[in-house]
A and B are shown apart, each in its own frame.
Chain A
Amino acid sequence: MNQIKSHPGEKLIFVVDDDEYFNNLLTAMVVKICERNNISAQVLSFETGRACMAKLELGPSLLLLDFYLDTRNDITATAYDLLEDIHQQVPETYILLISQQEDWTLFKDDLIALGANEFLHKDRELEARLEPIIESVLSTPKA
């Protein structure tokens, strides 16, 4: 995990995915997109919901949340279990759900009600789709 040091104007982004490979991948994508768009941001990665909750008070601007989280546990917990807690604690945070779920339609309304803002798939289009979202959520209007 990156060190936590705050710079004025620096945005905070959380990546929460229990799959080590995809967690690293997402983190690298987000860092690259921020660099490309001159967005000053710090990315913190978490492999469990618990670890993420412990740092939530830092108030991330954007949170990328894996839909099937904590699959290593006996009970398959999903974002349902975390989403509401996160949204209540940091209602300003933009929550982006990411999954390899092919079809969100069955869940979308429920998840939006719980606080999700947008949905993406773990596919080859991910980086391209991620970029405009990061841009619009994190770009600070020139003062």
Chain B
Amino acid sequence: LTAGSSEKEKKAIEAAGMDDLLLKPFSQAGLMKILGKYVQVKGDEQVDHSGTAPDLTDLMELANGDASFVVNMLQIFLKNSKQDLSGLHEAFTGRDFQKIKGLAHKMIPPCRHLGFEAVVEELKLLENVAEEKNESSVQESVKRISSLLESLYPEIEKELRKLTPSQASSNI
């Protein structure tokens, strides 16, 4: 655990033999994520990154009371994020590191805007390891992003249901 924060420091720490590091101040979700990498959760082969609800502060403010704006934005996020995620998997299958880097780059701003900081950090890491064409790191990173995003989608869908209580059934 450290309050030091640069990528360079992280590399130095890893080079010195540490397996991972967690920067202070850290969130519960951040701690869980790192613990999850090393601790096998009993009865659950997949690590549970319990989903974080999207931060809708910005969208709500921009919407000026128009819930349909927020709904539309969240739907766009869901649709494109799922598309980009399968794009990542596809690009990895084809070992297209340039494509992976481009996709990761493109996925960052919407994730950041919705407050999905853990995903943003992971996408930045993916950009770097894709640039280095580091196959195993890319694979691990894509896996973590996948798992993080999959845990976020239900949270977004939950928000959508809250925002569209009357349309919930007619939309399906």
Contact = CB atoms under 8 A, between A and B. Distances in A.
B26 interface: no
B102 A20 contact: no
A32 B80 contact: no
Interface in B107-148: 108-110, 112-113
Interface residues of B, number: 20
Given A20-B76, A21-B110, A76 B102 contact: yes
A71 B109 contact: no
B62 A100 contact: no
Given A24-B73, A68-B105, A68-B106, A29 B112 contact: no
A76 B106 CA distance: 11
Interface in B63-111: 63-64, 69, 72-73, 76-77, 80, 98, 102-103, 105-106, 108-110
Contacts of B112: 100, 122-124
B73 A100 contact: no
B64, B76, B103 — which one has the most chain A CB atoms within 10 A of its CB? B76
Interface string A90-132: 0000000000100000000000000000000011100100000
Contacts of A68: 102, 105-106
What 6 A-B pairs have minimum CB-CB distances, sorted nearest first?
A: A21-B110, A122-B109, A100-B109, A71-B106, A71-B102, A21-B76
24 contacts: A19-B80, A19-B106, A19-B109, A20-B76, A21-B73, A21-B76, A21-B77, A21-B80, A21-B109, A22-B110, A24-B72, A24-B76, A25-B73, A25-B113, A28-B69, A29-B62, A68-B102, A68-B106, A71-B103, A71-B105, A76-B98, A76-B102, A100-B105, A122-B113
Given A122-B108, A122-B112, 9 more contacts: A19-B80, A24-B76, A76-B102, A100-B105, A100-B112, A122-B109, A122-B113, A123-B112, A124-B112
